[in-house]
């Protein structure tokens, strides 16, 4: 069912877009590498169609990719989107599509670790000058922009430590110089922050996290703000051969249908857990932008409409590895694992080594990154309190 009015609210877009008009509510999974045609005319026309709805060869899109890309694009207020087999693939394809040897790129210092590794190893190898900038740079990004600067890459909040960037100021400064902006918007999802409305050109998501929401699919999506940017990225992704599988796309659209309800509960559970443990003597402080004393709180309140289940505990200085192993090995409901955004609670030691080159994070002790899942928060609190008690032997 397509909406009849212009300005639909997000939750209605989520419930009503990307569906057949009538008949069974959900579109089936189209497992199709090959598409056949009834006439030469039909075949010729299919190749010339709108690349947002092409269905003439499996790699170039199918009804499942169209539906998911369409809904994501609507939510972000974009022109069109491309999907990729992982969040990282959506990021690297987006960067790759616009860069040439001799270009310069500005990347936020708090960027997702594997994105940083791609910049350092591969963009550098291909002759792109990579420079990291302070997440607090704001409008001063203008001073770092050179004649060769092609892209300013943002991620807000930053990975593991959640620094909030002044996205509107950075996007405006970049646009004034004709520099493209891209943001990793995974943390906020399209519900809690709208980068394209703030002047960013491409908003990228690891749908693997909250959009899929059930820890069973790796998927990435990049939403473009204009036809020009979309066409460049779409045709590059065709040449690169990047595409996502129909089963994964179906599950991502299914996850998206319940995103609001899940996010609300993740935030509520994270808040309950944080509130219950924040004064524990083993904790130095808790990093979570929704906390009033978090350094990013004011900007988060200005630009974001919600938070999620992800937070980091900075332990007291001097907490050693053996104590942390004692804590983590005994956790009952916070499973040890990378990733976040699924229904389950997770805990992992967060290392910043090699991931900050502009400004060292000022945490006194080791960091633990936690994801509050959808379990009953009373059980999560008991588990975490017992774990923190184990730090003291
Ligand atoms: C997980 C993650 C990615 C990468 O997503 P994958 O699907 O695992 O490749 C990118 N950015 C952020 C912020 C992430 O948390």
pLDDT tens column, 325-377? 999 999 999 999 999 999 999 999 999 999 999 989 999 899 999 999 999 99
- 209 noted as active-site residue: yes
Convert 141-169 to b/e letters by CB count within 10 Å (16 or more is b): bbebbeeebbbbbbbbbbbbbbbbbbbbb
Residues contacting residue 192 through CB under 8 Å, at least 6 positions apart = 263, 304, 305, 306, 307, 308
Compute the distance from residue 67 Cα to the ligand 1 centre, in Å: 22
Could you tell me the two tokens for 300? 């988060």
Atom of ligand 1 nearest to the CA of 219: 7
Query: Which of 89, 91, 113, 114 best tests ligand 1's pocket when mutated (most atoms within 8 Å of CB)?
Result: 114
Q: Which helix (H) or strand (E) holds 274?
A: helix 259-277
Task: Report the Cα 52 to chain-centroid distance in Å.
Answer: 22
Counting Cα atoms < 13 Å in the Cβ hemisphere of 391 gives 20
Compute the distance from residue 81 Cα to the ligand 1 centre, in Å: 17
Partners of 223 in the beta sheet? 81, 203
pLDDT tens by residue, 70-123: 999 999 999 999 999 999 999 999 999 999 999 999 999 999 999 999 999 999
Could you tell me if 115 and 104 are in contact, meaning their C-beta atoms sit under 8 angstroms apart? no
Q: What would you report as the CA-atom Rg of the chain, rounded to the nearest whole angstrom?
A: 22
Query: Which of 156, 161, 186 best tests ligand 1's pocket when mutated (most atoms within 8 Å of CB)?
Result: 186
Strand order in 202-206's β-sheet?
Answer: 80-84, 220-224, 202-206, 180-184, 149-155, 104-108, 129-133
Name the residue with the closest Cα to ligand 1, atom 14: 206
Q: Which of 30, 112, 153, 250 is catalytic?
A: 112
Could you tell me if 94 and 222 are in contact, meaning their C-beta atoms sit under 8 angstroms apart? yes
- 150 noted as active-site residue: no
Distance in angstroms (rounded) separating the CA atoms of residues 112 and 201: 19
Please tell me the predicted confidence (pLDDT) of residue 1. 44
pLDDT tens by residue, 171-213: 999 999 999 999 999 999 999 999 999 999 999 999 999 999 9
Compute the distance from residue 206 Cα to the ligand 1 centre, in Å: 5
Which pTM was predicted? 0.97
Place of tokens 């609507």: 74
**Residue 251, φ and ψ in degrees, nearest 5:** -70, -35
pLDDT of 385 above 90: yes
Task: Give SS3 for 50.
Answer: coil
CA angle 2, 6, 11 (to 5 degrees): 65
pLDDT tens by residue, 91-101: 999 999 999 99
Q: Which of 31, 59, 146, 392 is catalytic?
A: 59
CA angle 108, 112, 116 (to 5 degrees): 70
Ligand 1 residue neighbourhood (C-beta within 6 Å)? 86-88, 112, 159, 184, 186, 206, 208-209, 218, 220
Atom of ligand 1 nearest to the CA of 339: 1
Could you tell me if 135 and 108 are in contact, meaning their C-beta atoms sit under 8 angstroms apart? yes
Q: Which of 150, 160, 194, 209 is catalytic?
A: 209
Q: Which of 184, 201, 294, 303 is catalytic?
A: 184
Distance in angstroms (rounded) separating the CA atoms of residues 162 and 297: 10
Partners of 220 in the beta sheet? 84, 206
Please tell me the predicted confidence (pLDDT) of residue 7. 78
- 257 noted as active-site residue: no
Q: Could you write out the DSSP letters of every residue in 92-125?
A: HHHHHHH--TT-EEEEETT--HHHHHHIIIIIHH
Atom of ligand 1 nearest to the CA of 155: 13
Compute the distance from residue 247 Cα to the ligand 1 centre, in Å: 19
Distance in angstroms (rounded) separating the CA atoms of residues 277 and 314: 12
Distance in angstroms (rounded) separating the CA atoms of residues 349 and 353: 12
């Amino acid at each position: 069912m397509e909406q009849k009015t212009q300005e639909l609210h997000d939750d209605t877009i989520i419930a009503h877009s990307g569906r057949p008009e009538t008949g069974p509510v959900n579109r089936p999974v189209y497992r199709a590498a090959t598409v056949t045609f009834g006439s030469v005319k039909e075949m010729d026309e299919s190749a010339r169609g709108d690349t947002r709805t092409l269905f003439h060869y499996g790699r170039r899109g199918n009804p499942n990719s169209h539906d998911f890309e369409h809904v994501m694009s609507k939510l972000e207020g974009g022109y069109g989107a491309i999907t990729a087999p992982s969040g990282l693939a959506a990021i690297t394809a987006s960067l790759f599509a616009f860069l040439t040897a001799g270009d310069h790129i500005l990347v936020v210092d708090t960027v997702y670790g594997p994105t940083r590794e791609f910049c350092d190893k591969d963009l550098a190898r291909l002759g792109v000058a990579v420079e990291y900038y302070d997440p607090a740079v704001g409008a001063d990004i203008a001073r770092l922009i050179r004649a060769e600067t092609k892209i300013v890459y943002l991620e807000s909040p930053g990975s593991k430590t959640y620094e909030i960037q002044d996205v509107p100021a950075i996007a405006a400064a970049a646009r004034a110089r004709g520099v493209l902006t891209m943001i990793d918007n995974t943390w906020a999802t399209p519900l809690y922050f709208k980068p394209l409305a703030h002047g960013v050109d491409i908003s990228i998501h690891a749908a693997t996290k909250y959009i899929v929401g059930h820890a069973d699919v790796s998927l990435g999506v990049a939403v473009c703000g204009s036809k020009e940017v979309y066409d460049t990225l779409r045709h590059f992704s065709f040449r690169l051969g990047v595409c996502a599988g129909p089963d994964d796309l179906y599950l991502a659209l299914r996850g998206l249908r319940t995103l609001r309800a899940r996010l609300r509960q993740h935030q509520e559970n994270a808040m309950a857990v944080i509130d219950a443990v924040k004064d524990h003597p083993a904790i130095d402080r808790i990093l979570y932008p929704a906390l009033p004393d978090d350094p990013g709180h004011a900007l988060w309140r200005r630009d974001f409409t919600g938070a999620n289940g992800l937070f980091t505990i900075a332990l007291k200085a001097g907490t050693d590895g053996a104590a942390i192993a004692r804590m983590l090995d005994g956790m009952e409901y916070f499973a040890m694992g990378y990733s976040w955004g699924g229904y389950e609670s997770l805990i992992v030691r967060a290392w910043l080594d090699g991931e900050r080159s502009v400004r060292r994070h000022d945490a006194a002790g080791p960091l633990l990154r936690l994801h509050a899942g959808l379990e009953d928060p009373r059980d999560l609190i008991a588990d975490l309190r017992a774990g923190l008690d184990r730090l003291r032997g």
